[in-house]
Amino acid sequence: MDEKPTNDPAKDKIDWREHHSNQPYATGKYSYDDYAPAYSTAHAAFQKHREKDFDDIEDEIALDYERQRVGSALPWDEARHAVRSAWDRLSGVVSPRDPSRGIRSGF
């Protein structure tokens, strides 16, 4: 992945598709296609709320995800890690290669 986020959903989609399987939350029965709405939700939320803290608007982002996930079997509890990971990448909180991005202790 690029070290700096592009804020270009199409370009970042290519990066996420290429590197999705390397993410710690990407194990199990769900594919990149199941996670794609989560990444898209993160982009849209970041563009709308970039000045806010993810934790402060997580409930709103979760509702947006539920509206966008048509066709994805991935529930919010599973998608949350990917949304947070993409948010953190876009906000520069963590490097795109940080292996624990999107994962908080206790989960």
Question: In whole angstroms, what is the distance from residue 74 CA to residue 89 CA?
Answer: 21
What is d(CA 1, CA 86) in angstroms, rounded to the nearest whole number? 12
What value, to the nearest 5°, has the Cα angle with vertex 70 and ends 66 and 75? Answer: 45
- Is 105 part of a structural domain of the chain? no
Which residues of the chain carry a pLDDT beneath 50? 1-3, 96, 98, 102-107
What's the pLDDT score for residue 81?
Answer: 93
Containing domain of residue 66, as a range? 9-91
Global pTM reads 0.77
In a domain, 55, yes or no: yes
Residue 24 is assigned to a structural domain of this protein = yes
H-only helix segments in 1-107: 9-19, 32-49, 54-68, 76-91
From the list 82, 65, 71, 87, the residue with the least C-alpha distance to 21 is 82
pLDDT at 29: 81
In a domain, 106, yes or no: no
Number of structural domains (the chain) is 1
